[in-house]
Amino acid sequence: KAGVTQTPRYLIKTRGQQVTLSCSPISGHRSVSWYQQTPGQGLQFLFEYFSETQRNKGNFPGRFSGRQFSNSRSEMNVSTLELGDSALYLCASSPRAGLETQYFGPGTRLLVL
Amino acid sequence: GQQVMQIPQYQHVQEGEDFTTYCNSSTTLSNIQWYKQRPGGHPVFLIQLVKSGEVKKQKRLTFQFGEAKKNSSLHITATQTTDVGTYFCAGPGGGTSYGKLTFGQGTILTVHP
């Protein structure tokens, strides 16, 4: 099976702009979670989607949002970008929702200037 | 909320030496997962421990779940340069983190040849 894919892999934006990241889960996986990874804060959970519904949300401002489509593909959006949003954004899929093993994609590295 | 703490934050070893990283939770965990992230890569699932006192081995890696299910350890025997990376533990969150995995800060392992 193909692994989790994320696009784009690298992105440079300026403050105030918005960005949309895309994630395609492993075939048959219905849960998609998003994480932000930074050197200072480590891996932080953003949100989880299952069957097009957000099941859980981490402690991030409302500028961070996401959605899941009927084919389980997911997108996350960050509006009004701040310098501190520079990070590696990782998508992970699993067959079921909740505390399942996370299969991570390669990530999107976002740099905000 | 529930926290998952890992120590040490960094570990430098000579090739052939052993390495251990410890994971501690403020609450009892139903299970714990371990992941490895190579430099420039993404986290990859290693193992899940479920039972109190459980010990699992993968070649030179030994994983242990504490009797009280509040701590875990990963021990690598005779490290090799291929072991370089960051090792994360992850456990089910409690409180506001209920229903999602909470990752430790990770231990960065450097192996000198």
In a structure prediction context, what are the per-residue pLDDT tens digits for chain A, which is 113 residues long?
789 999 999 999 999 999 999 999 999 999 999 999 998 888 999 999 999 999 888 889 999 999 999 999 999 999 999 999 999 999 999 998 877 899 999 999 999 99
Q: Which residue in A10, A43, A53, A54 has the most chain B C-beta atoms within 10 A of its own C-beta, making it the best mutation to test that interface?
A: A43
Q: Are A58 and A68 in contact (CB under 8 A)?
A: no
B28-60 pLDDT, tens digit per residue, is: 998 999 999 999 999 999 999 999 999 999 999
Residues 6+ apart with CB under 8 A from A25: A4, A31, A32, A72, A73, A74, A91, A93, A103
Which two tokens mark B28?
A: 């009892």
Whether the CB of B77 is below 8 Å from some CB of chain A: the reply is: no
Virtual torsion, Cα A73, B97, A11, A7, nearest 10 deg:
-20
In chain A, the residue whose alpha carbon lies closest to the alpha carbon of B49 is A101
Give the mean pLDDT of chain B.
Answer: 93
Collect all residues of chain A within an 8 Å Cβ-Cβ radius of residue B101: 45, 99, 102
A-to-B residue pairs, Cβ atoms closer than 8 angstroms: 52
Distance CA B38, CA B40 (A): 6
Contact A56 B100 (CB under 8 A): yes
What is the rounded average pLDDT of the residues B15-21?
A: 98
Q: Are A57 and A33 in contact (CB under 8 A)?
A: no
Q: Are B89 and B104 in contact (CB under 8 A)?
A: yes
Collect all residues of chain B within an 8 Å Cβ-Cβ radius of residue A55: 99
Residue with tokens 């959970």: A45
Answer left, alpha or beta for residue B26, where phi above 0 means left and psi between -120 and 50 means alpha: alpha
